[in-house]
Amino acid sequence: MTNFSELNISESTLKSVKRMGFEEATPIQEGTIKFAMEGRDIIGQAQTGTGKTAAFGIPLVEKIDPKSPNIQGLIIAPTRELAIQVSEELYKIGQDKRVKILSVYGGQEIGRQIRALKNNPHVIVGTPGRILDHINRRTLKLENVQTLILDEADEMLNMGFIEDINTIMESVPPERQTLLFSATMPTPIRKIAEKFMKTPEVVKIQSKEMTVENIEQFFVKSHEREKFDILSRVINVHQPELAIIFGRTKRRVDELSHALSIRGYLAEGIHGDLSQAKRMSVLRQFKENKIDILVATDVAARGLDISGVTHVYNYDIPQDPESYVHRIGRTGRAGKSGVAVTFVTPREMGYLRIVEETTKKRMSPLRPPSSDEALIGQQRLAVESLAEMVDKNNIGDYRAFATELLEKYEAVDVIAAALKSMTREPSDTPVSISEERPLPARKERSGGGGRSGGGGYKGNNRSSGGRSSSGSGRSSDRGPSRRTGGRDGSSSSSREGSASRGGRPRTSSRREN
Ligand SMILES: Nc1ncnc2c1ncn2[C@@H]1O[C@H](COP(=O)(O)OP(=O)(O)OP(=O)(O)O)[C@@H](O)[C@H]1O
Ligand SMILES: [Mg+2]
């Protein structure tokens, strides 16, 4: 481990980094900061939660001239929430140097962004659609940009975003420095990337597995109709501090969060059809532990750094191994441990094997807990919170009532009744979760990538799978990539999920603005 002071970083940045609580550089930071400060182009790949943001953020801040009124750095991220998060981290890194950071993303009033742009920010962090919108309105001047960064680079260079990225790149001087970061970098995408980079230094932090070692990974083989009951029992046994449940479609997310709520869990959903205000408020409540369970589409799969997420549940197995890596990477960050559970229907077992091949990590089978085990889990939780209340002496006003009760009843009965009232007992309140069709049968990974970690799936023509245009009235997150008018702020224009066309590498791609 290298101390930041050995990396030739200026005093002001060192001070900021120290204030953030960073003592030693993580391997990806150690591996890239030096090259980046020399002006080299970099492809940086390291596991989820290992500090890639600061790996590009520190050298970027170092290069900024705070006295200049120009935009000198541009960071592009695939989702609005990630753009906001990255801008916050950059703000902290550049605080002592007084670097001005501005985030621009769809769903936020454009006039407000135009006014903020007049305030001479040094770095812009944004989503592709909104950046393009500002370029077209000539409200974003990129001719002095020296550093272009693609966070979640493989996602940004995937089909759903590539056209936008190409256009943005044309507005940035060709002699710029380009930095690409992600936890996953399928070979076909890396080849696309190298075409617009200048002899990039590829910094890949080698590890045995693509996923983080301290995430315990399980799978549950289960039929569609059993998933919800098993999920709630597993949650009752696991007692997560904070959990994220990923679902395949927006409809799935809506139905799951509703079902969890009526069964007594504090759960909310997040996906691309919600207003930006709603998305932000749900995320804020989750970060503040006001809700325990965030139900999400892949819109929350990449980059989000929320401390306290102990469990990730894939209610539906993701279609791409890369998506799996990013989803489960929302837990087990910065050295913490985590648990990931993936539901897989018998027909989808082929996908599970492909995920395992890519990540080079086997998932352990998880036996669905019985309802008795689930109940015991909840009872233990009630015992713990009762004990905690006593420990914290948080019971002043209730003592008189307690004494009154004890005059009449046995102490053990009174406590048992208190525990019962605090326990979430298995509920049979009916819930309605529409069945998702399983992913089309798939047994082998084409493209010969195998264990060498090649790319996504190839040539998966969705029209034969019939999922993208099923006409079943569901709100699919997985429509093929297509352009629509009125992209900014209009919820119908933000697409999520995977896009695919025959013959092209398939990894997940979302369109946001
Ligand atoms: N040197 C460091 N020391 C301690 N903590 C750090 C250090 N660098 C980053 N962190 C913290 O680690 C967490 C994960 O960092 P970050 O979000 O940059 O990970 P990432 O590699 O970009 O992950 P992902 O692939 O999911 O986007 C953050 O909370 C960040 O503040
Ligand atoms: Mg990141």
Which residues make Cβ contacts (< 8 Å) with residue 351, sequence separation at least 6? 317, 319, 344, 439, 442
- Taking the CA atoms of the chain, what radius of gyration do you get in angstroms? 24
The protein residue with its alpha carbon nearest to ligand 1, atom 8, reads 51
The reported pLDDT for the residue numbered 513 is: 58
Distances (CA, A) of 156 to 15, 72, 392, 452: 32, 20, 49, 22
ipTM of the complex: 0.99
Whether 290 and 141 share a structural domain: no
Which pLDDT value is given to residue 439? 83
**Tens of pLDDT along 182-229?**
999 999 999 999 988 999 999 999 889 999 999 999 999 999 999 999
Q: Are residues 156 and 252 in the same domain?
A: no
Strand ordering across the sheet containing 101-104: 101-104, 123-126, 73-76, 147-151, 177-182, 42-45, 201-204
Whether residue 400 lies inside any domain: the answer is no
Residue of 6, 53, 336 to test ligand 1 pocket, by largest number of atoms within 8 Å of CB: 53
Q: Which two tokens stand for residue 306?
A: 């929320």
The secondary structure of 77-127, three-state, reads CCCHHHHHHHHHHHHHHCCCCCCCEEEECCCCCHHHHHHHHCCCCCEEEEC
> How far apart are the C-alpha atoms of 209 and 324, rounded to whole Å?
13
Domain identity same for 198 and 220: no
Residue 156 CB: number of other CB atoms within 10 A? 26
Taking 70 as the pLDDT cut, the residues of the chain under it are: 442-513
Distance CA(5)–CA(2), nearest Å, equals 8
Q: Are residues 152 and 274 in the same domain?
A: no
Residues 266 and 179 in one domain: no
Indicate the residue among 371, 400, 422 that finishes a domain: 371
Q: Which residues contact 247 (CB under 8 A, 6 or more apart)?
A: 253, 256, 295, 296, 297, 315, 316
Q: Locate the ligand 1 atom nearest the alpha carbon of residue 28 and give its number.
A: 21
Query: What is residue 511's predicted lDDT score, i.e. its pLDDT?
Result: 55
Residue 393 lies in a domain: no
Judge if 57 and 159 occupy the same domain.
yes
- Helix locations, 212-312, DSSP H: 227-238, 250-262, 276-287
Q: Is the CB of 329 under 6 A from ligand 1?
A: yes
Check: CB of residue 259 under 8 Å from CB of residue 431.
yes
* Residue of the CA atom closest to atom 25 of ligand 1: 48
Q: Is residue 19 part of a domain?
A: yes
For ligand 2, a single-atom ion, which residues have Cβ within 5 Å?
52, 303
Query: Could you tell me the residue range of the domain that residue 292 belongs to?
Result: 211-371
Residues 124, 104: contact at Cβ < 8 Å?
yes
Residues 360 and 342 both lie in one domain: yes
pLDDT value of residue 443:
55
Answer whether residue 319 is part of any domain.
Answer: yes
CB 7 within 8 A of CB 30: yes
Same domain? 114 vs 159? yes
Q: Is residue 131 part of a domain?
A: yes
DSSP SS3 for 247: coil
CATH (domain of 10): 3.40.50.300
Same domain, 143 and 219: no
Domain count, the chain: 2
Residue 352 falls inside a structural domain: yes
What's the CA-to-centroid distance between 53 and ligand 2, angstroms? 5
Q: Which of left, alpha, beta for 3 (phi over 0: left; psi -120 to 50: alpha)?
A: beta
Q: Are residues 39 and 130 both part of a single domain? A: yes
CA of 199 to the centre of ligand 1 (A): 27
Say what the pLDDT of residue 429 is: 79
**How many angstroms separate the Cα of 461 from the Cα of each of 298, 318, 323, 508, 509?**
21, 17, 19, 14, 15
In a domain, 455, yes or no: no
Listed residues 164, 181, 205: the one ending a domain: 205
Quote the CA–CA distance of 252 and 294 in Å, as a whole number: 13
pLDDT of residue 258: 97
Domain boundary among 166, 184, 205: 205
Q: Tell me the C-alpha to C-alpha distance, in Å, between residue 28 and each of 99, 129, 291, 333, 356.
A: 23, 29, 33, 14, 24
CA distance 125 to 84: 8
In a domain, 9, yes or no: yes
Quote the distance between the C-alpha of residue 189 and its chain's center. Answer: 20
- Asked if 117 and 9 sit in the same domain, the reply is yes
Do 306 and 159 have their domain in common? no
